[in-house]
């Protein structure tokens, strides 16, 4: 069977899987960004209890394997009476895992804003909320976006794991087609290509555009 | 079925899990060793004066880096036999991990080499040292400490990615946990124990890497004691 015949027969299935992969990526990106901000700020708290919780969370999720966390959420949580749908379990595990990595990026970003900026905002009698919103956050983005972009590309790659908890994504479809047709080179090769195109020609340019935008906002 | 954590069951499967942990450590070690060497090859490809080699090298590295390790594993495991190359799951796993992380390590090496100041090269040229001698006695001793933290991070990274090997049937820790869980129809204890074993191994390792990083920075004068 030629490659084009393969594409004609299984192309739509793979594309449908790709749509699911994108859905997983978008949902888990939103979740991980929120988690990173919360835990990144908690990590800088002066209250030792809050800081301790954040440290434990980050060390726990960075210290264990994503696959183990994923299986734990999907197969073990039902023992405690919490059954999640495969898609939700995948997004939750991905979001919580990458949130731990992201929190460290956020923390480093906040530390990197010069102290004088805080002091100047203080001296100008800005309220704490305004200080964060108008002075600190706009300066944080150009610092944290490059490492966050790397992390997001890693996240795209990591979404392949949700196939192992029966989310019907690109990897799952490729595996399925492989087990029916045994055209391994075609189906896994196509899947690799689709991931590559998504990362190199869609996700990375988009993230670079965001970086430029953020840098321009602070006049760089 | 009994709810909650059953300690007796956990105790019963503990020896089995610990044996499997040994396999995980071996897999991570062997994979890392291969990755270290593969990284050198990618580094060579990047630093050869030939433009074509550079571009091809760059594209290969980009491709491997932006596709999921899981599908790469499947690709190697399922496609190679079609070309008559029959490898065991272990070997496939080690090759794939070596290739995947080799691309990351080549970046670590590159960063380290670029971290050595250019004036060092110029001084060696002025002293009429040969290129080999310059690398061996001047550049590498200075580049190596810079590379250590990055290299350590990827050792921990490989260790945490070894559970993926279970998907092609390598009998490491996660594979053992799934097998035990399936046999007894209890996943709570095996998976929880896997998590705990990973934590007890990777947190000290990560702390050790962080410590090294600090030491390197101090030695280079970037950080005060």
CB contact under 8 A, B203 and A63: yes
When the pLDDT of each residue in chain B is averaged and rounded to a whole number, the result is 91
Q: How far is B27 from chain A (nearest CA, A)?
A: 15
| Residue A138 pLDDT level (bands cut at 50, 70, 90) | confident
| Residue B214 pLDDT level (bands cut at 50, 70, 90) | confident
Tokens standing for B73? 């594993």
Q: Does residue A194 contact residue A170 with C-beta atoms inside 8 Å?
A: yes
pTM recorded for the entire structure: 0.90
User: Domains (ranges, CATH) in chain B?
Assistant: 7-219 (1.10.3720.10)
CATH code of the domain containing A33: 1.10.3720.10
Most confident of A4-13, B101-110, B134-143: B101-110
Of A60, A185, A195, the CB nearest to B82: A185
For the stretch B57-111, pLDDT in tens is 999 999 999 999 999 999 999 999 888 888 899 999 999 999 999 999 999 999 9
Using the predicted structure, report yes or no on whether residue B1 has a pLDDT greater than 60.
no
Could you please report the per-residue DSSP string of A136-154?
IHHHHHHHHHHHHHHHHHH
| Residue A108 pLDDT level (bands cut at 50, 70, 90) | very high
* Rounded distance between C-alpha atoms, residue B179 and residue B102, angstroms: 31
Domain that holds residue A172: 3-217
Q: What is the pLDDT of residue A118?
A: 87
CB contact under 8 A, A79 and B187: yes
Tokens 């001047």 -> residue: B138
Phi then psi for A125, rounded to 5 degrees? 65, 35
| Residue A134 pLDDT level (bands cut at 50, 70, 90) | confident
Q: What is the pLDDT of residue A204?
A: 94
* Rounded distance between C-alpha atoms, residue B201 and residue A69, angstroms: 16
* Rounded distance between C-alpha atoms, residue B198 and residue B182, angstroms: 21
Helices A184-197 and A170-181: crossing angle, nearest 10°?
170
Tokens standing for B18? 């610990």
Q: Where are the alpha helices (DSSP H) in A44-136?
A: 48-63, 66-71, 86-112, 115-123, 128-130
Mean pLDDT calculated for residue range A140-169: 94
Q: Does residue A11 contact residue A193 with C-beta atoms inside 8 Å?
A: no
CB contact under 8 A, B74 and A178: yes
Mean pLDDT calculated for residue range B123-140: 92
| Neighbour count for residue B29 (Cβ, 10 Å) | 14
Mean pLDDT calculated for residue range B35-39: 97
Tell whether B187 lies on the interface with A, counting CB pairs under 8 A.
yes
* Rounded distance between C-alpha atoms, residue A110 and residue A39, angstroms: 12
Of A80, A178, A195, the CB nearest to B66: A195
Q: How far is B152 from chain A (nearest CA, A)?
A: 14
Contacts of A40 (CB under 8 A, 6+ apart): A102, A103, A104, A105, A106, A107, A109, A110
Q: What is the pLDDT of residue B33?
A: 97
Structure-model confidence comparison of residues B208 and A19, the more confident one = A19
Q: What is the pLDDT of residue A220?
A: 65
Q: Does residue B195 contact residue A66 with C-beta atoms inside 8 Å?
A: no
What ipTM is given for this predicted complex? 0.90
* Rounded distance between C-alpha atoms, residue B188 and residue A218, angstroms: 50
Tell whether B174 lies on the interface with A, counting CB pairs under 8 A.
yes
CB contact under 8 A, A65 and B160: yes
CB contact under 8 A, B82 and A184: yes
Mean pLDDT calculated for residue range A39-60: 93
Q: Does residue B12 contact residue B82 with C-beta atoms inside 8 Å?
A: no
Helix (H), strand (E) at residue A38: helix A3-43
For the stretch A167-218, pLDDT in tens is 999 999 999 999 998 889 999 999 999 999 999 999 999 999 999 998 888 8
Q: Print the SS3 string covering B153-219.
A: HHHHHHHHHHHHHHHHCCCCHHHHHHHHHHHHCCCHHHHHHHHHHHHHHHHHHHHHHHHHHHHHHHH
Using the predicted structure, report yes or no on whether residue B25 has a pLDDT greater than 60.
yes
Q: Does residue A200 contact residue B66 with C-beta atoms inside 8 Å?
A: yes
CB contact under 8 A, B67 and A157: yes
* Rounded distance between C-alpha atoms, residue B92 and residue B165, angstroms: 9
Residues of chain B contacting residue A178, judged by C-beta atoms under 8 Å apart: 74, 78
Number of domains in chain A: 1
When the pLDDT of each residue in chain A is averaged and rounded to a whole number, the result is 92
């Amino acid at each position: 069977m030629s490659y084009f015949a393969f594409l004609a027969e299984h192309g739509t299935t793979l594309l449908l899987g790709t749509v699911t992969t994108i859905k997983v990526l978008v949902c888990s990106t939103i979740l991980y960004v929120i988690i990173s901000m919360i835990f990144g700020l908690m990590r800088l708290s002066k209250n030792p209890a809050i800081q301790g919780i954040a440290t434990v969370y980050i060390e726990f999720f960075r210290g264990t394997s994503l696959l183990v966390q994923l299986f734990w959420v999907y197969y073990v949580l039902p023992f405690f009476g919490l059954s999640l749908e495969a898609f939700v379990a995948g997004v939750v595990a991905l979001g919580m895992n990458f949130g731990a990595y992201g929190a460290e990026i956020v923390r480093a970003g906040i530390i990197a804003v010069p102290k004088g900026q805080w002091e100047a905002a203080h001296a100008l009698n800005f309220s704490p909320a305004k200080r964060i919103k108008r002075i600190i956050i706009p300066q944080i983005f150009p610092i944290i976006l490059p490492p966050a972009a790397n992390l997001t590309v890693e996240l795209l790659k990591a979404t392949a794991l949700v196939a192992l908890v029966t989310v019907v994504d690109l990897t799952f479809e490729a595996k399925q087609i492989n087990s029916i047709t045994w055209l391994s080179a075609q189906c896994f090769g196509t899947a690799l290509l689709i991931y590559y195109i998504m990362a190199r020609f869609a996700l990375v340019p988009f993230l670079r555009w965001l970086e430029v935008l953020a840098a321009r906002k602070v006049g760089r | 079925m009994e709810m909650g954590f059953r300690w007796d069951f956990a105790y019963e499967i503990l020896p089995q899990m610990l044996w499997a942990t040994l396999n995980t450590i071996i897999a991570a070690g062997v994979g890392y060793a291969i990755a270290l060497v593969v990284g050198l090859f990618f580094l060579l490809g990047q630093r050869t004066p030939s433009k074509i080699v550079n571009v091809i090298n760059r594209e290969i590295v980009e491709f491997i880096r932006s596709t999921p390790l899981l599908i790469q594993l499947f690709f190697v495991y399922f496609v190679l036999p079609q070309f008559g190359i029959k490898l065991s799951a272990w070997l496939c796993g080690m090759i794939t991990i070596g290739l995947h992380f080799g691309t990351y390590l080549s970046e670590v090496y590159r960063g380290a080499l670029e971290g050595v100041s250019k004036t060092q090269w110029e001084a060696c040229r002025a002293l009429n040292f040969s290129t080999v001698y310059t690398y061996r006695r001047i550049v590498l001793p200075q580049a190596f400490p810079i590379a250590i933290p990055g290299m350590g991070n990827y050792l921990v990274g490989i260790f945490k990615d070894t559970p993926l090997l279970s998907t092609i049937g390598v009998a490491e820790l996660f594979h053992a946990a799934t097998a035990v869980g399936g046999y007894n129809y209890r996943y709570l204890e095996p998976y929880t124990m896997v998590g705990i074993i990973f934590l007890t191994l990777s947190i000290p390792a990560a702390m050790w890497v962080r410590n090294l990083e600090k030491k390197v920075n101090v030695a280079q004068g970037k950080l005060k004691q």
